Structure 1
Amino acid sequence: MAVQPEGTPCWADAMFGDLEGAKNFYGEVLGWSFGESSPEYGNYTQAYADDQAVAAVVPPMPGQEGQSQWCLYFASPDAAATAERIRDNGGEVLMEPMQVGEFGTMCLAREPSGAVFGVWQAGSHEGFDATAVPGAYCWAEVFTRDPERTDAFLTAVFPYRAKRIADDAIDFRMFDIGEETVLGRMLMTDDFPPEVPSYVNVYWTVDDCDAAVARATKLGAVLHFGPMTSPFGRFAALSDPQGANFSVIDVKTAEGEMPQIAED
Structure 2
Amino acid sequence: MAEFPEGAPCWVDAMFTDVEGAKTFYADVLGWTFGEESSEYGNYTQAYSDGKAVAAVVPPMPGADAPSQWCLYLASSDVAATAEKIGAAGGEVLMGPMRIGSFGAMLLGKEPGGAVFGVWQPGDHKGFEKMGEAGAYAWAEVFSREPDKPDAFLAEVFPYGTQRLEPGDDPAEADMDFKVFTLGGEENPVLGRMRMGDDFPPEVPSYIQVYFAVPDCDEAVAKTRKHGGKVYSGPMDSPFGRFAAVADPQGAAFAVIDLTTTVGEMPQFG
TM normalised by structure 2 equals 0.96
Partner of 2:147: 147
Tell me the matched-pair count. Answer: 262
Structure 1 residue corresponding to 2:180, chosen from 171, 174, 177:
174
Partners of 2:73 and 2:14 in 1: how far apart? 11
| 1:237 maps onto 2:245 in alignment | yes
| 1:254 maps onto 2:262 in alignment | yes
Partner of 1:79: 79
Paired amino acid for 2:32: W
Partner of 2:196: 188
| 1:90 maps onto 2:98 in alignment | no
Which SS does the other structure have where 1:230 is aligned? Answer: coil
Paired amino acid for 1:205: A
Partner of 2:30: 30
Partners of 2:66 and 2:223 in 1: how far apart? 25
User: Any idea what the Cα deviations from partners look like across 1:200-250, whole Å, max 9, x if unmatched?
Assistant: 100000000000100111101110111011000000000111111100000
| 1:44 maps onto 2:44 in alignment | yes
**Contact 1:175/1:183 (CA < 8 Å) preserved in 2?**
yes
Which SS does the other structure have where 1:215 is aligned? Answer: helix
Partners of 1:217 and 1:142 in 2: how far apart? 25
Q: Aligned-pair distance for 1:65?
A: 2.1
**Contact 1:17/1:65 (CA < 8 Å) preserved in 2?**
no
Partner of 2:102: 102
Partner of 1:200: 208
| 1:223 maps onto 2:231 in alignment | yes
Which SS does the other structure have where 2:237 is aligned? Answer: strand
User: Any idea what the Cα deviations from partners look like across 1:127-166, whole Å, max 9, x if unmatched?
Assistant: 0000011110000000111100110001000000011101
Paired amino acid for 2:19: L
Partners of 1:240 and 1:10 in 2: how far apart? 22
TM normalised by structure 1 equals 0.98
Partner of 2:130: 130
Paired amino acid for 1:141: E
Partner of 2:171: none
Paired amino acid for 1:37: E
Q: Aligned-pair distance for 1:62?
A: 1.4
**Contact 1:12/1:70 (CA < 8 Å) preserved in 2?**
yes
Partners of 1:253 and 1:182 in 2: how far apart? 21
**Contact 1:173/1:185 (CA < 8 Å) preserved in 2?**
yes
Q: Aligned-pair distance for 1:64?
A: 1.7
User: Any idea what the Cα deviations from partners look like across 1:34-65, whole Å, max 9, x if unmatched?
Assistant: 00000100000000001000000000001222
Partners of 1:145 and 1:254 in 2: how far apart? 28
Partners of 1:171 and 1:245 in 2: how far apart? 22
Q: Aligned-pair distance for 1:255?
A: 1.0
Ranges in structure 1 where 5+ consecutive residues have no aligned partner: none
**Structure 1 residue ranges, 4+ long, deviating more than 4 angstroms after superposition:** none
Paired amino acid for 2:240: F
Partner of 2:56: 56
RMSD, aligned α-carbons:
0.7
- Identity over aligned residues, as a percent? 63
